[in-house]
Amino acid sequence: MKRRIIHIDEEKCNGCGLCADACHEGAIGMVEGKAKLLREDYCDGLGDCLPACPAGAISFEEREAAPYDEKAVMENKQRLQEEFQKKIQRPGMEIPKGCPGSQSGAIQPQGENSARAAESASAISQLRQWPVQIKLAPVNAPYFQGAKLLIAADCTAYAYGAFHEYFMKDHITLIGCPKLDSVDYAQKLTEIIKNNEIKSVKIVRMEVPCCGGLEHVVKTALKDSGKFIPWSVAVISTDGNIIDE
C-alpha cells in the first residue's frame, strides 16, 4: 500500500540516536553509527522522530510501504519490556512502562553480580541509577534528591581503570560528550540542579581540549541554577592518570 512514512537521509545523519529514543514504536535503530528505519510496519507515520533530529535528516515521503502493524508493535514493546526487567530488576524495584533504553531506575550495588566481582572489590559496579546519559536522564528523578552528582565525559571511565571505585562510589553518575552528541547540556543540567537538592557536583573530564566543553556547560548550569553548590573538577590524561584534581 502507498502511505506516508519517514525517510532518513544518511548523509545528514550525525548518529546522535535521538530519533531512535523518540520513536515509541521501535521502528528506528542505530546501524554502524547511522539511524535506520528497521521496520516499515512499525512506523505509524506520525513523525515523533522529526523534531528530535538536530540535523534535519528525517522527513516524510509518500511511497509503497508495509501497513502499520499496531499489534506487532505492542508485542515487540512487551518483549523488550520483559527482557529489560529480567536484566536489571532488583528486589522491590519497580520498572515503569515505556522505552526500555530510557527507563529510569535506582540501582543498589550488588557484591555478587559476577564471578569477577567476587574475586575483586574493584569489579563491583558502583552505578546507582539508570539512565546515565545526560540527554536521557529525567529532570525530576527521585535519585537526584540529596545526591552527590558526578558529571563525567564518556571517555573517562575507559581511560581511568579505577573509575567506579574512585569517582562513582556514592554518587549519581551522568555522562556525555558535547562534541559528539550535538546537544546543549547546559539547560538540562540547570533544571536538574535547580529542581533537586544536589549536595555537590564533581566534573571528570579528559585532558584533550575538546573535553573542556563539558566543564564549561556544567559551570554554566551551576551559575544559571542560582544555587551555591560545592563543585570540583578532575582531569584524566589519555594514558589513564589523574593529572589535576
* Positions in the chain whose pLDDT score sits under 70: 84-123, 182
Query: What is residue 14's predicted lDDT score, i.e. its pLDDT?
Result: 87
Query: What is residue 95's predicted lDDT score, i.e. its pLDDT?
Result: 47
Phi-psi region of 134 (alpha: psi -120 to 50; beta: other; left: phi over 0): alpha
Total-model pTM: 0.56
Could you tell me which of 20, 70, 76 has the C-alpha nearest to residue 48? Answer: 20
Query: What is residue 117's predicted lDDT score, i.e. its pLDDT?
Result: 43
Separation CA 134–CA 176 (nearest Å):
6
Query: What is residue 22's predicted lDDT score, i.e. its pLDDT?
Result: 80
Summarised one tens digit per residue, pLDDT across range 70-97 is 899 888 888 877 775 665 455 554 544 4
Query: What is residue 87's predicted lDDT score, i.e. its pLDDT?
Result: 54
Contact present, 107 and 124 (Cβ < 8 Å): no
